[in-house]
């Protein structure tokens, strides 16, 4: 792989706090290596800002290996940037070329208010999980793990849904700010497994109610969420969410 260096123009959203009016600022960075990650390029920019006695840019990040779900930049009009099934921290600078202009915004959604610059508040996701995204089994109540065989297909599909990292790219990508891919993934994981069956109906009803309460929009089947999901979570999970919701609703009548 050939490596190269590049000079870039960055237009980045700056906002002092959740009440302040934000706006774009333009920055230049030089000699960025194609081997850097996108966030390492931000490290370079922040070091530059500190040296110039300017305030560095606040952004969320932690594991930098694509699994914690904390990084959350909207890059050139796409959550997590141009690569498919990828997080911002795993985006590398070889995706760009010398002279490019890159626009970086925070997640934009009514349910994810901006805290500062590129940092948003995603605690709504925690509250949705609190509404029912679990199996009620206190520690010490479990039977032997192999006492209940689970068909491999169900286990595999549950795993694919459970791979969600809770980053919120699905919400950011959706023109309605819908969280149905996130909710659908958790509902599907637990509905597919026999362990999740006893609470299946109350779970879906309560999680959807909380989702609505948080101000997330509805799904109009544009599938932008699936296209932008860093873990490739399928919209089939939204279909399953709808099915579970309708069935639970009928049974609760």
Partner 1 sequence: MSLDAKIPQGNMSEKWSAYKGNVKLVNPANKRKLEVIVIGTGLAGASAAASLGELGYKVKAFCFQDSPRRAHSIAAQGGINAAKNYQNDGDSVYRLFYDTVKGGDYRAREANVYRLAEVSAAIIDQCVAQGVPFAREYGGLLSNRSFGGTQVQRTFYAAGQTGQQLLLGAYSALERQVALGNVTQYSRHEMLEIVKIDGKARGIIARNLVTGELERHFGHAVLLCSGGYGNVFYLSTNAMGSNVTAAWKAHKNGAYFGNPCFTQIHPTCIPVSGDHQSKLTLMSESLRNDGRIWVPKAKNDNRKGKDIPEDERDYYLERRYPAFGNLVPRDVASRAAKERCDAGYGVGTTKMAVYLDFADAIKRYGKIEAGKNGLVNADNETIIRLGKEVVKEKYGNLFDMYEKITGENPYETPMRIYPAVHYTMGGLWVDYELQTTVPGLYALGEANFSDHGANRLGASALMQGLADGYFVIPYTIGNYLSNEIATASIAVSHPAFEAAEKAVQDRLNQLISIRGNESVESYHKKLGKIMWDKCGMARNEQGLREAISEIRALRESFWSNVKIPGKVNEMNNELDKAGRVADFLELGELMCLDALDRKESCGGHFREESQTPDGEAQRDDENYSYVAAWELTGNNQWTLHKEKLQFEIVKPTQRSYK
Positions 208 through 247 that interact with partner 1 (CB under 8 A): none
Cα gap 86→210, rounded to integer Å: 28
Q: Is 41 strand, coil or helix? A: helix
Task: Kindly state the smallest distance separating residue 253's Cβ from partner 1, in Å.
Answer: 25
Cα gap 38→103, rounded to integer Å: 12
Question: What's CA 222's distance to the chain center, in Å?
Answer: 17
The two structure tokens encoding residue 234: 């399928």
Q: Which stretch binds partner 1 (CB under 8 A): 19-27, 88-96, 211-219, 220-228?
A: 88-96
* # residues contacting partner 1 (CB under 8 A): 79
Positions 94 through 113 that interact with partner 1 (CB under 8 A): 94
Positions 126 through 165 that interact with partner 1 (CB under 8 A): 126, 129-131, 133-146, 148-152, 155-156, 158-159, 162-163, 165
Among 38, 96, 125, 245, binds partner 1 (CB under 8 A): 125
Positions 52 through 81 that interact with partner 1 (CB under 8 A): 53-56, 58, 60-70
Among 6, 114, 118, 190, binds partner 1 (CB under 8 A): 190
The angle formed by the CA atoms of residues 218, 104 and 66, to the nearest 5 degrees, is 75
Positions 3 through 42 that interact with partner 1 (CB under 8 A): 17, 33, 35-37, 39-40
Q: Which C-beta is closer to partner 1: that of 141 or that of 252?
A: 141
Task: Kindly state the smallest distance separating residue 220's Cβ from partner 1, in Å.
Answer: 27
Cα gap 207→244, rounded to integer Å: 12
Among 9, 20, 30, 43, binds partner 1 (CB under 8 A): 43
List of long-range contacts for 76-82, beta carbons under 8 Å, 24+ apart:
76/102, 76/103, 77/103, 78/173, 78/228, 79/107, 79/167, 79/169, 79/172, 79/173, 79/228, 80/167, 80/169, 80/228, 80/230, 81/38
Cα gap 181→223, rounded to integer Å: 9
Task: Kindly state the smallest distance separating residue 33's Cβ from partner 1, in Å.
Answer: 6
Task: Kindly state the smallest distance separating residue 206's Cβ from partner 1, in Å.
Answer: 9
Task: Kindly state the smallest distance separating residue 5's Cβ from partner 1, in Å.
Answer: 11
Cα gap 80→60, rounded to integer Å: 12
Give me the residue label for tokens 């694509």: 66
Q: Which C-beta is closer to partner 1: that of 145 or that of 250?
A: 145
Q: Which C-beta is closer to partner 1: that of 219 or that of 233?
A: 233
């Amino acid at each position: 792989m050939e490596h190269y260096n590049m000079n870039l123009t960055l237009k980045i959203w700056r906002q002092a706090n959740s009440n302040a009016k934000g706006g774009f600022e333009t920055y230049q960075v030089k000699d960025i290596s194609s081997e850097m990650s996108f966030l390492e390029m931000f490290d370079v920019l922040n070091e530059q800002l500190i040296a110039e006695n300017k305030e560095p840019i606040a952004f969320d990040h932690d594991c930098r290996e694509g699994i914690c779900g904390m990084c959350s930049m909207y890059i050139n009009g796409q959550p997590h940037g141009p690569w498919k099934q990828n997080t911002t921290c795993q985006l590398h600078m070889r995706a760009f070329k010398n002279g490019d202009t890159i626009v970086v915004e925070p997640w934009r959604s009514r349910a994810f208010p901006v805290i500062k610059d590129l940092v948003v508040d995603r605690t709504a996701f925690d509250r949705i999980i609190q509404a029912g995204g679990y199996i009620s089994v206190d520690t010490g109540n479990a039977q032997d793990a192999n006492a209940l065989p689970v068909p491999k297909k169900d286990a595999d599909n549950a795993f694919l849904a459970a791979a969600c990292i809770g980053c919120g790219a699905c919400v950011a990508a959706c023109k309605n700010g819908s969280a149905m891919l996130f909710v659908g993934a958790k509902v599907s994981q637990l509905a597919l497994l026999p362990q999740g069956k006893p609470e299946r109906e109350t779970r879906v009803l309560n999680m959807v109610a909380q989702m609505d309460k948080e101000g997330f929009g509805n799904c109009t089947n544009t599938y932008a969420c699936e296209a932008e999901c860093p873990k490739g979570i399928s919209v089939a999970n939204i279909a399953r969410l709808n099915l579970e919701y309708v069935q639970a609703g009928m049974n609760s009548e």
